[in-house]
Amino acid sequence: MPASSAGAAPPSGTSAGVPLTGKARGDIVQAQERAGRGGAASAPRGKVIAELGFGFWRFLLARQYKTSLWPDLAGAFPHAPNRALATVENPVKQLHQFRNRIAHHEGIWHLRLEGRRDDLQTMLGFIAPAAATWVADASRIDDVLACRP
């Protein structure tokens, strides 16, 4: 049985009590394999985390984890109003869909790109308001959007 199958042992370095889907566990195994390229017996945890894709993190915010993971994950968004899962999940879901459109070379010219900029700013604000302010002040996205046909 593959390591990513439901009911399989959790990937090394993870907790058996974490209710991750088989897909999520498989993503962790793949990240561990990518992080370990270079001959190390076990990759540093930070390197494994860096190898996890946006989709992995996006789906940790899925409603199926509302009572299991969300109470702990909510702490990663200390400035989110009401600390509700949907408050954080919705902009992340929009950004994930947007990123996938770009990754698959789909057109985005007809989309309301200001909305994705706002989603990004919102998420930064939930995590670190000072960083959100810095990005807003340093970003050229408004200038670029103003020049589009």
Q: What is the reported pLDDT for 39? A: 60
Identify the pLDDT of residue 4: 40
CA nearest neighbour of 20 among 37, 32, 3: 3
**Tens of pLDDT, residues 58-114:** 999 999 999 999 999 999 999 999 889 999 999 999 999 999 999 999 999 889 999
CB-based contact 24:60 (threshold 8 Å) = yes
Distant-in-sequence, close-in-space partners of 77: CB < 8 Å, separation ≥ 6: 83, 88, 126, 127
**Which 8-state DSSP code applies to residue 140?**
-
In sequence order, the 6+-apart residues with CB closer than 8 A to the CB of 1 are 7, 8
Rounded distance, CA 141 to CA 114, Å? 9
- Token duo for residue 121: 């700013």
The share of the chain scoring above pLDDT 90, in percent, equals 71
DSSP 123: H
Question: What band does 7 get if pLDDT is binned at 50, 70 and 90?
Answer: very low
Structure tokens at 132: 């959100």
Q: Is the pLDDT of residue 13 over 80?
A: no
Indicate the pLDDT class of residue 8, thresholds 50, 70 and 90: very low
Predicted structure pTM score: 0.79
